[in-house]
Amino acid sequence: MQDGGPGVEVLGVKMGGGRGGRDGALSSQLNGDWREWVLCEDSRDEVDRLAFRARPDVPLRELFVTAPNSEDIRYAHPSQPVWLGYGDHTTGPSRSRFGRQWMYTPPPLVFPFRADRGWSGVAVAADSGQNLFSSVSYEPVDDRTFEVVVHYERQRHVGPGTARLMLAAREWSSPAEVVASYARRLRESGAAPSPRRSPEEWWADTFVCTWGEQCNIQNEMGANGRKSLIEHPVVSYESQANQMRWISHLVGQGIPVGVVSTSDKWQRDRYRLIPDAGRYEDLAGFGRWNHAAGRHVIAWWGLWSVDGAPREWCICDGDGNPLSVDPGNAEYRQVVADDVARLLSPSGYDLDGFFLDFTARQAPRPGDGPAPKAGIELLHSYIALVHGAAKAAKPGAMIMTHCPHPYFADVTDVLRLNDWALRRPNIVEQASYRRQIAASCSDWLINTDNWPMYDIDQWRQYLRYQPEIGIPASWFTHGVFGEGDRKYGEFTPNDYAVWRETWVSYRKRLGLPELGGDA
């Protein structure tokens, strides 16, 4: 076939299961900077994978990994497989569902590679509504040949408009430029949305989530051999009283806190948006307390949880055991819409948006019965449900996710860089890497996150760097228990002075309004 990039020949596609299957027919077309190969026929049978095979005319040197991982591996050797999105949950830890690279779920499904001097790339795309697969992988076949494999959670018919292969028709000077060109092509073709953003001013304000303080307490408990962490789980320290105490402490240090998030577990049941009265005795009052000081409040929500959910609203395994809630269930969708409206409505709890987490915990749909949405489409549908209900209840509500695939641009207002790998001393390198990927995919605002930290010195270094790449954020208020050095470092007066100066300067640069004191 024709070259799709600098010296890359597409050999064909296998449609089927495992390494077997039959050959599929492809046609290609040059579209701007990318040549795209699409299926010419509907499959006669249902398949669970498409394997596009290609051969460059010169050896690949390295691949850029667009899915951050806890090993902090950013460049892969072409002799190694690279998985993006949902890993194959049947083949062990290294390929589990999102596995060790759940920080971006899903990431942009593109494999930038360097074959000679510049950067080129190979990617996967699908028409809007056809992202029914759960992952894609780069898999070497031999020294000169590789496959890009599209993995479906269940067998299904595939054809024109479903997954297609993209090969860059030019080179760029950096992998981030490859990712940006891929995202542009998705938008131009209608495979990803082009939202007209009108961000609220407060979305970019300084951000605090107190999960780090909860972890500090648990770590100190764990350091005492006579304490049982079963009796002191980290979520037990999330409460209205603790939140108000920790936020008041920061405000007392002159730290301008603009946005506050609840943490895990403020809910009675994790699948619902109803406060646990034993932890948040007056959630509406908590909102008023923050609003009176000029702060906004968003609710943390770990998606997919079956905690307390009726079995009939869940995706279950073959034995009927619930794996995750099913956002395709009509009754559950209505419950979510009602819960969101009550949480954000001025006549309800009057909160201001959502911090959506745990997107990696999606369960595969079973192979029996109709499943109009699966894979990436099901996750997008879930977040779109929350996004739509939130905007209906409060048009200025903010939705934060860690889903940087361009397909999620219409349901994400703020993109969170997510948890950090415990590598020292390269927090700035990690943050720059993740920010490049996220900023290449859409124009969403970027929340910089800062949990976990290797030690307090890493926290100090990152504090100064955060305003350069996005919204300054802290998961800590009193100190840092280093997840790497296993030591607790309490913030000093100088730490608070630098923090105060950094966040005040950031807010002045953006022209954000003055905040009130503790209410």
Res 2: pLDDT: 43
**Banded model confidence at residue 518, pLDDT cuts 50, 70, 90:** low
Task: List the domain range (segments joined by +) for residue 38.
Answer: 8-189
Q: Which of 210, 258, 216, 202 is nearest to 238 (CA)?
A: 210
Q: CA 99, CA 456: separation in Å to the nearest integer?
A: 28
* Local structure of residue 294 (DSSP, 8 states): T
Q: Is the pLDDT of residue 99 over 70?
A: no
pTM exceeds 0.85, yes or no: yes
Q: Are residues 283 and 405 in the same domain?
A: yes
Mean pLDDT, to the nearest integer, of 498-504? Answer: 98
Mean pLDDT, to the nearest integer, of 466-474? Answer: 98
Q: Are residues 206 and 181 in the same domain?
A: no
Domain end residue (candidates: 189, 217, 234) = 189
Q: Are residues 273 and 347 in the same domain?
A: yes
Asked, for residue 197, whether it belongs to a domain, the answer is: no
**Banded model confidence at residue 1, pLDDT cuts 50, 70, 90:** very low
Asked, for residue 358, whether it belongs to a domain, the answer is: yes
Q: Is the pLDDT of residue 89 over 50?
A: no
Res 94: pLDDT: 41
**Banded model confidence at residue 22, pLDDT cuts 50, 70, 90:** confident
Q: Are residues 145 and 55 in the same domain?
A: yes
Asked, for residue 516, whether it belongs to a domain, the answer is: no
Q: Is the pLDDT of residue 38 over 50?
A: yes
**Beta strands, E only, 197-333:** 207-209, 259-261, 296-302, 314-316, 322-325
Asked, for residue 194, whether it belongs to a domain, the answer is: no
Q: Are residues 246 and 336 in the same domain?
A: yes
Q: What is the DSSP string of 178-228?
A: HHHHHHHHHHHHTSS--------GGGGS-EEETHHHHHHHHHHHHTSTT--
Q: Is the pLDDT of residue 335 over 90?
A: yes
Q: Which of 318, 372, 401, 393 is nearest to 102 (CA)?
A: 401
Counted residue by residue, the chain has a size of 519
Q: Are residues 147 and 251 in the same domain?
A: no
135: which strand partners?
85, 151
User: Higher confidence at residue 365 or residue 303?
Assistant: 303
Q: Are residues 208 and 240 in the same domain?
A: yes
Q: Is the pLDDT of residue 168 over 70?
A: yes
Residue 126 · residue 380 · CB < 8 Å: no
Asked, for residue 1, whether it belongs to a domain, the answer is: no
**Banded model confidence at residue 368, pLDDT cuts 50, 70, 90:** low
Mean pLDDT, to the nearest integer, of 71-90? Answer: 80
How high does pLDDT run on average in the chain?
Answer: 91
Mean pLDDT, to the nearest integer, of 200-228? Answer: 87
User: Higher confidence at residue 501 or residue 71?
Assistant: 501
Asked, for residue 196, whether it belongs to a domain, the answer is: no
Q: Are residues 237 and 312 in the same domain?
A: yes
Instruction: Tell me how many domains the chain contains.
Output: 2
Q: Are residues 417 and 289 in the same domain?
A: yes
Task: Indicate which CATH number applies to the domain containing 52.
Answer: 2.60.40
Percent of the chain at pLDDT > 90 equals 76
Least confident of 186-190, 244-248, 399-403, 422-426: 422-426
Q: Are residues 174 and 37 in the same domain?
A: yes
Burial (CB count within 10 angstroms: exposed 0-12, middle 13-18, buried 19+), residue 205: buried
Asked, for residue 226, whether it belongs to a domain, the answer is: yes
Mean pLDDT, to the nearest integer, of 140-165? Answer: 89
Asked, for residue 3, whether it belongs to a domain, the answer is: no
Res 20: pLDDT: 59
Task: Indicate which CATH number applies to the domain containing 349.
Answer: 3.20.20.80
Q: Are residues 298 and 161 in the same domain?
A: no
Q: What is the pLDDT of residues 56-67, one digit of tens each?
A: 988 999 999 999
Domain end residue (candidates: 142, 162, 189) = 189
Res 367: pLDDT: 61
Res 369: pLDDT: 55
Q: Which of 328, 383, 331 is nearest to 358 (CA)?
A: 383
Strand-pair category, 22-24 with 8-16: antiparallel
Q: Are residues 227 and 158 in the same domain?
A: no
Q: Is the pLDDT of residue 498 over 70?
A: yes
Q: What is the pLDDT of residues 384-415, one digit of tens each?
A: 999 999 999 999 999 999 999 999 999 999 99
Res 390: pLDDT: 98
Domain end residue (candidates: 163, 189, 215) = 189
Q: CA 237, CA 84: separation in Å to the nearest integer?
A: 34
